[in-house]
Amino acid sequence: MLQARRKVLATILAIWGVAATAEEVDLLAFGDSLTAGYGLIETEGFVPQLRDWLAAQGHEVRVVNAGVSGDTTAGGAARIGWSLTPEIDAMILTLGGNDLLRGIDPAVTRANLDTILSEAEAHGVSVLVVGLRAPDNYGPEYKTAFDAIYPDLAEDYGALYEPSFFAGLGEDDPREARQYFQPDGIHPNADGVRRIIEALGPRVIGLITGAE
């Protein structure tokens, strides 16, 4: 009788264990048009492709598209509080591109991103900070100040860090990378998004497995 009870208990615990590992993770993709999927049909955008890629790797993740085209870090700081709804476990932060396009003072960008990360910390949400690099034509002082924002803040908050959103596009060779962009030269095409996710995906898995 005792042995039978032990077997039943072991079965119950095994079922609970499977249920726990299969529990869906809620991931907030918080960014601008790069996250929103600007210029692409819905299934080709960053969020749907990321969700499908994660599923193919065996991870059940609900990816919430919190990308707003044209948004700056100031806009992100203004909406982060209500974007972090109670079910959110983790967040990918990809903001700053529109700050660059507008030439916003890097100190302002840093302060806004600090606000976003502080809010995530207060909500107990794990974060993957995805950086951007300023172009050389902004001058060395601007570039140095801007490029340092993302690694500095990731270290301050103990967040995961990926240096560049475009790492998967061969960005060191502009001629090579051009084929992965839409005609505007700013937003990736569907194939570009696929390559971005292949490069970024392992970092996202590290984020969500920590969240699990």
Which positions are catalytic? 33, 184, 187
With 0-12 / 13-18 / 19 or more C-beta atoms within 10 angstroms meaning exposed / middle / buried, residue 87 is exposed
Query: By the 8 A CB rule, do 72 and 104 touch?
Result: yes
- The pair phi, psi for residue 179, each rounded to 5°, is -70, -15
Compute the chain's Rg from CA coordinates.
19
How many Cβ atoms sit within 10 Å of the Cβ of residue 148?
Answer: 13
What is the token pair recorded at 33?
């048009």
Q: How buried is 212 (Cβ within 10 angstroms: 0-12 exposed, 13-18 middle, 19+ buried)?
A: middle
Q: Which residues are CB-neighbours of 165 under 8 A, at least 6 positions away?
A: 34, 94, 130, 131, 132, 196, 200
Compute CA distances 95 → 3, 36, 57, whole Å.
Answer: 58, 11, 26
Residue 155 one-letter amino acid:
E
The neighbouring-strand residues paired with 62 are 26
